Structures are given as C-alpha cells and as structure tokens.
C-alpha cells in the first residue's frame, strides 16, 4: 500500500561529482550499514512522489537497484544536474539534493515544501544559500537555462537573483555535507 502523505514532488539525487576531496565515491560510503546514496534514496522515496538519481554514468549505481538517469549536459558542474532535473521533472515542484548530506531528514523536506513559492526555496545554512538541497518550481528552468547558455555556472549567483525565496532552517545541521571520510586525520 502506497503512503498517502507523499509530497507531490519529484526528487533528484545528484551523484555526478568526482568525490576528489573524499578520495572515493562518497555516494557509496557506508553510513548506518548502507551506502549513503541508498539511505538518501530511501528517505526521498518515503517523502516524495518520484525519485531519480542523476549521474554522468547511470550504470555506476545499477547494482544498488536505484532509478538512475544520465545528466544531459557534458560539463562537470552542479548546474548541469539541476538543469537535467528541471527538464526531467514529472511534477511542478522538484527537490534537487546533493548525495553527500548524511543528516538529511523528512522534516527538512517538509519545511521546504511548506515554504514553497516563486521560482524555488533555497535554504540558508551559516548565511550561505544551499542550492543543492533546495526545492525548485519548473518555471525556474528558463532562469537556469539562460545562465547556462551565458556560461554562468555559479549557482550562488543565480539563486541570489529575485524570484527565489530563501529560508532560514530550524535545524541547519541537516545540511552538513560529507567532504572527507569522518575518520580522516584521526591518529
């Protein structure tokens, strides 16, 4: 039986980065005895109508049983994942979530959903916009497409423009990302 309280949104989990600072594929990092990407996919699946993992190589996660799609743009930049998500979204609103957020929660997703409006809702953490943990309206596609065509790939600049809503989070630690293995540097 399908949960009736899923948000009418398509969630996209971005897993196209190279994990250079991490040293290995952080999406596959085991956290709570499962790969981080599997944990996040499960959370998003319980909260949203549809979930798709976006990556440069969809076969990379085939063994995990996740619905994956290829990023439609050749550049290795976050804007390409965001553009692909907006183009592929099966709903009016879509979440775009980076795959390195181990503290992500359903409460965070609902908080963004309740604040939806304009072209999207961008959370603030430590006074910095977090465009890769945000909720976007499909009408924002034109803004991102225009920036891409002008070779403006800086998401911070794009989401600082009028039309996007920013939201202070009640629990900003939910957006702490995993850039290095937790035990790196421990002697």
Distance separating alpha carbons of residues 27 and 25, to the nearest angstrom = 5
* Gap between the Cα atoms of 80 and 110, Å rounded: 25
Does 2 map to a domain?
A: no
Residue 187 maps to a domain = no
Residue 148: inside a domain, yes or no? yes
Residue 96 within a domain:
yes
In a domain, 54, yes or no: yes
A 10 A CB-CB count for 158 gives 23
Domain assignment present for residue 180? The answer is: no
Return the CA Rg of the chain.
16
What are the structure tokens assigned to 152, written together?
A: 């403006």
At 17 the pLDDT is 52
CATH number at residue 38: 3.90.550.10
If you average pLDDT over residues 40-66, what whole number do you get? 93
In the chain, how many domains are there? 1
Assessment of whether the complete model's pTM goes beyond 0.85: yes
Structural domain boundaries, residue 19: 7-175
pLDDT tens digit sequence for 43-53:
999 999 999 99
Q: Is residue 181 part of a domain?
A: no
- At residue 179, the pLDDT reads 59
Structural domain contains residue 183: no
What confidence score (pLDDT) does residue 4 get?
Answer: 58
pLDDT of 24: 55
């Amino acid at each position: 039986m399908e949960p009736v309280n899923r948000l009418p949104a398509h969630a996209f989990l971005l897993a196209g980065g190279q994990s250079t600072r991490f040293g290995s594929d952080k999406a596959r990092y085991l956290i709570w005895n499962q790969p981080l990407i599997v944990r996040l996919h499960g959370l998003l699946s319980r909260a949203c109508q549809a979930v798709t993992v976006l990556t440069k190589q969809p076969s990379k996660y085939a063994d995990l049983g996740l619905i994956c799609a290829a990023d439609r743009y050749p550049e290795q930049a976050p804007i390409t994942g965001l553009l692909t998500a907006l183009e592929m979204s099966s709903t009016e609103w879509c979440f775009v979530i980076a795959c390195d957020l181990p503290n992500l929660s359903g409460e965070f997703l609902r908080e963004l959903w309740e604040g939806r409006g304009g072209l999207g809702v961008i959370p603030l953490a430590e006074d910095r916009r977090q465009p890769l943990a945000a909720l976007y309206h499909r009408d924002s596609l034109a803004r991102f497409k225009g920036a891409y065509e002008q070779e403006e790939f800086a998401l911070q600049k794009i989401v600082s423009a009028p039309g996007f809503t920013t939201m202070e989070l009640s629990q900003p630690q939910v957006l702490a990302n995993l850039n290095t293995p937790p035990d790196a540097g421990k002697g």
